Chains A and B, each alone.
Chain A
Amino acid sequence: MTWELFVQNLFNALTVGSLYALIAIGYTMVYGILRFINFAHGDVFMVGAYFIFFGVTAAHLPWPVAALVAIGGASGLGILVDRIAYRPLREAPRISALISAIGISFLLENLGLVVFTGLPRPAVQPQWMVDPITLGSIRILPLSFIVPVVTAILVLALLWIVYKTRPGLAMRSISKDIETTRLMGVSVDRIIALTFGLGSALAAAAGIMWAMRYPQIHPFMGVIPGFKAFIAAVVGGIGSIQGAVLGGLLLGTVEIMVVAFYPTLSGYRDAFAFVLLIVILLFKPTGLMGEKLEDKI
């Protein structure tokens, strides 16, 4: 492999990895607080991509405004899903919430099919994002710079919220002990809603950028990235935001680089993530940066 190709692949890996990281954060935050896998998260990502598509094509909003509307709409959807499908099950066994989440995931996908139709649609791409830049002999899409930078900004903003603000403090406190936090006078349901809102906003941001990277949107586009991002969260250590970022970048790198070095394995690409998941679960179930979660007896 020439070094030019290697650098291009490196940028690809960074882009895909950043997107996995953004989605993974939503999984990890919800798991950290409520201890269940929000299966519907990948579909919020899909809805985000659709919102910006219709914002630009149907409502004729300028692209940046449409992006903000899409992110806002998706985070509203995340909060709504929590309110309708998860909050009634707070006291139920955790698996019930998981089954409910699987139901919501299928609901969103098929509702997408009904409302948006199954026709794949072209993503809206501002031209300056897709004209490749040439650095010497390397051709790189501006997107490959924009995505990691935007991701870094969003992650830093999230970390600031979680570690420096009072709602963030409440979030961390809920993840340690929900009952005690309630007794301290924190409105737990509101903080959980905030968590869903933030996670969904990041997923929508990822969805918008994903649609530019792979310029087609369809109702089932969230399934595979959703699974992979969840795996990234487990690899990084579920419950840890930094871990989710690390896991996302690692997964992106593994996927792109293995296929780049061994093109014959490209058919198995979608299996890498699951193999990685099983290896991690076997040898380090807490992930790279996770704390040990003890089952209470």
Chain B
Amino acid sequence: MSAQAVKNTPMVQNHSLRNGLSTIVAIGLLFGGLWLAEQHFDGYQTQLLNLVAINAILAVSLNFIYGFSGMFSLGHAGFMAIGAYVSALCILTPGQKEMLWLLEPIWGPLAELSTPFFFSVLMGGLAAAFCSFFIALPVMRLGGDYLGIATLGFAEIIRVLFTNIAPLTNGAIGLRGIPAYANAWWNYTWLIITLFIILSILKSNFGNVLKSIRDDEIAARTMGINTTAYRTMAFCVGGFFAGVGGALMGSLVTTIEPKMFNFQLTFNILLIVVAGGLGSVTGSMVGAAVITLMLEWLRIVEAPMNFGFVIIPGIPGMRMVIFSMLLVLIIIFRRQGLMGTREFSWNAFYNSIGFKDRESFERSES
């Protein structure tokens, strides 16, 4: 409450104008950077740039579910699968669909469907949110690790279903030749949309309620909060953005198959969230950049190395050995991750570069 009161004083309103402008400038700089990247980056670097954005969307959505709302969900790969498949089914052209479904004919109404990219991604997200609602209904009563294992179970069920319902998903063969619309512009636009919505929710009363449920569910319930309803809503919001991330991922890699959406995928995102800091959106962004680049950079250890006089064969699996060790080490020695629960704020930024004022370093209450 007091933070709210402080924000309404005239002096801070000045700041909010400054901060708002700073945000707009930062977004402008980001898109300027993307334009430069488009001019100078090669295919591989562009792919990495895109992966960072998509992983950031996924990490922020998982962090919203786990770090801010306190629901340990291991079902992210399942939501991504739904998002990726639904949006791919929307964007594939009727001609492509006719070529793809060879073993079994495609389900009638889908054959003619073909929609623009933005709408398709939106549909992917909505489908994932819709499914998370029905998943949430039964599992919201569970707490802690039971919730984790139940959501993991749902993700596995989704994967098995997608392998088997060939008229909808083309079975184990998957979908190939998805148009690669997901360029850096789209991915970063979606990232900004994600951040805007998640941050607005976190600042709103809804966000405060979620944090209160996370910190002490019984106390929240005593205050008259319908914890199940709020958690279900939060779960659906997280599911929506996981679906969006999956949809963008599908269009980025252009080929999706059920096998792709396994537990490993959830593990990578969990690693990003934990490394960045549970309960910090900034942390998830930093984590996404660091872990994505490290995951790629460490491909070196799996590729054969040729020093001219000696050739060291690549060691498959070494990359994940390093990453799983990293996760365990972070959890044991630095459980708060890179950022803890701290967030980037313009006030802190301007303070640190010399525009001192009375408002001290802003910390989120979480």
B270 A295 Cβ-Cβ under 8 A: no
1/0 contact trace for A70-94 toward B, CB 8 Å? 0000000000000011001100101
- Say whether A175 faces chain B, with CB atoms less than 8 Å apart: no
Smallest distance from the beta carbon of A65 to chain B beta carbons, Å?
30
- Say whether A149 faces chain B, with CB atoms less than 8 Å apart: no
Chain B residues contacting A106 (CB-CB under 8 Å) are 264, 267, 320, 323-324, 327
Interface majority SS on A: helix, strand, loop or mixed? helix
> Within the complex, which residue of B72, B142, B263, B321 is in contact with A281, where a contact is CB–CB below 8 Å?
B142
CB contacts under 8 Å to A, within B264-299, are 264, 267, 270, 274
**Size band of the B side of the interface?**
35 or more
Chain A residues contacting B308 (CB-CB under 8 Å) are none
Smallest distance from the beta carbon of B182 to chain A beta carbons, Å?
28
Complex: how many Å from CA A25 to CA B213? 34
Complex: how many Å from CA A219 to CA B320? 13
A281 B139 Cβ-Cβ under 8 A: yes
CB contacts under 8 Å to A, within B138-195, are 138-139, 141-146, 148-150, 152-154, 156-157, 160-161, 163-164
A271 B156 Cβ-Cβ under 8 A: yes
For B141, B156, B264, which residue has the most chain A Cβ atoms within 10 angstroms? B156
B146 A285 Cβ-Cβ under 8 A: yes
B156 A227 Cβ-Cβ under 8 A: yes
A88 B332 Cβ-Cβ under 8 A: yes
B142 A110 Cβ-Cβ under 8 A: no
Chain A residues contacting B218 (CB-CB under 8 Å) are 297
Smallest distance from the beta carbon of A275 to chain B beta carbons, Å?
7
Q: Which residue from chain A places its CB closest to the CB of B137 in the assembled complex?
A: A282
Say whether, besides A96-B331, A277-B149, A110 and B156 are in contact (CB < 8 Å): no
- Say whether A49 faces chain B, with CB atoms less than 8 Å apart: no
- Say whether A122 faces chain B, with CB atoms less than 8 Å apart: no
Q: Which residue from chain A places its CB closest to the CB of B267 in the assembled complex?
A: A106
B138 A113 Cβ-Cβ under 8 A: no
Chain A residues contacting B160 (CB-CB under 8 Å) are 267-268, 270-271
> Within the complex, which residue of B149, B316, B324, B335 is in contact with A230, where a contact is CB–CB below 8 Å?
B149
- Say whether A66 faces chain B, with CB atoms less than 8 Å apart: no
- Say whether B317 faces chain A, with CB atoms less than 8 Å apart: yes
For A95, A102, A281, which residue has the most chain B Cβ atoms within 10 angstroms? A102
- Say whether B113 faces chain A, with CB atoms less than 8 Å apart: no
- Say whether B315 faces chain A, with CB atoms less than 8 Å apart: yes
Smallest distance from the beta carbon of B319 to chain A beta carbons, Å?
8
Chain A residues contacting B320 (CB-CB under 8 Å) are 106, 109-110, 113
A103 B321 Cβ-Cβ under 8 A: no
- Say whether A216 faces chain B, with CB atoms less than 8 Å apart: no
Smallest distance from the beta carbon of A149 to chain B beta carbons, Å?
31
Number of A-B contacts (CB under 8 A): 116
Smallest distance from the beta carbon of A241 to chain B beta carbons, Å?
20
1/0 contact trace for B305-323 toward A, CB 8 Å? 0000000000111111101
Complex: how many Å from CA A231 to CA B149? 9
- Say whether B3 faces chain A, with CB atoms less than 8 Å apart: no
Chain A residues contacting B153 (CB-CB under 8 Å) are 231, 274, 277-278
B324 A37 Cβ-Cβ under 8 A: no
- Say whether A135 faces chain B, with CB atoms less than 8 Å apart: no
Chain B residues contacting A109 (CB-CB under 8 Å) are 320
Q: Which residue from chain B places its CB closest to the CB of A275 in the assembled complex?
A: B157
- Say whether A111 faces chain B, with CB atoms less than 8 Å apart: yes
B156 A95 Cβ-Cβ under 8 A: no
Chain A residues contacting B144 (CB-CB under 8 Å) are 94-95
Smallest distance from the beta carbon of A271 to chain B beta carbons, Å?
4
> Within the complex, which residue of B141, B143, B145, B324 is in contact with A98, where a contact is CB–CB below 8 Å?
B145
CB contacts under 8 Å to B, within A221-269, are 223, 227, 230-231, 234, 267-268
Say whether, besides A103-B331, A271-B157, A277-B153, A110 and B143 are in contact (CB < 8 Å): no
1/0 contact trace for B209-237 toward A, CB 8 Å? 00000000010000000000000000000
Say whether, besides A95-B72, A274-B154, A89 and B143 are in contact (CB < 8 Å): no
Smallest distance from the beta carbon of B25 to chain A beta carbons, Å?
38
- Say whether A118 faces chain B, with CB atoms less than 8 Å apart: yes
Q: Which residue from chain B places its CB closest to the CB of A265 in the assembled complex?
A: B164
Chain A residues contacting B319 (CB-CB under 8 Å) are 110
Q: Which residue from chain A places its CB closest to the CB of B318 in the assembled complex?
A: A114
A267 B150 Cβ-Cβ under 8 A: no
Smallest distance from the beta carbon of B279 to chain A beta carbons, Å?
13
- Say whether A152 faces chain B, with CB atoms less than 8 Å apart: no
A278 B138 Cβ-Cβ under 8 A: yes
Smallest distance from the beta carbon of B269 to chain A beta carbons, Å?
12
> Within the complex, which residue of A92, A98, A230, A295 is in contact with B72, where a contact is CB–CB below 8 Å?
A98
Smallest distance from the beta carbon of B172 to chain A beta carbons, Å?
9
Chain A residues contacting B143 (CB-CB under 8 Å) are 295
- Say whether B110 faces chain A, with CB atoms less than 8 Å apart: no
Chain B residues contacting A219 (CB-CB under 8 Å) are 317
- Say whether B328 faces chain A, with CB atoms less than 8 Å apart: yes
- Say whether A5 faces chain B, with CB atoms less than 8 Å apart: no
B163 A282 Cβ-Cβ under 8 A: no
Complex: how many Å from CA A106 to CA B161? 25
Chain A residues contacting B321 (CB-CB under 8 Å) are 107, 110-111, 114
Complex: how many Å from CA A219 to CA B139? 31
Complex: how many Å from CA A146 to CA B272? 46
CB contacts under 8 Å to B, within A153-205, are none
- Say whether B325 faces chain A, with CB atoms less than 8 Å apart: yes
- Say whether A54 faces chain B, with CB atoms less than 8 Å apart: no
Chain A residues contacting B264 (CB-CB under 8 Å) are 106
For this complex, 8 residue pairs linking A to B, each with C-beta atoms less than 8 Å apart, are A107-B328, A219-B317, A227-B156, A234-B149, A267-B160, A270-B156, A278-B154, A281-B138
Taking Cβ atoms with an 8 Å cutoff, the residues of A that contact B are 36-37, 84-85, 88-89, 92, 94-96, 98-100, 102-107, 109-114, 117-118, 219, 223, 227, 230-231, 234, 267-268, 270-271, 274-275, 277-278, 281-282, 285, 295, 297
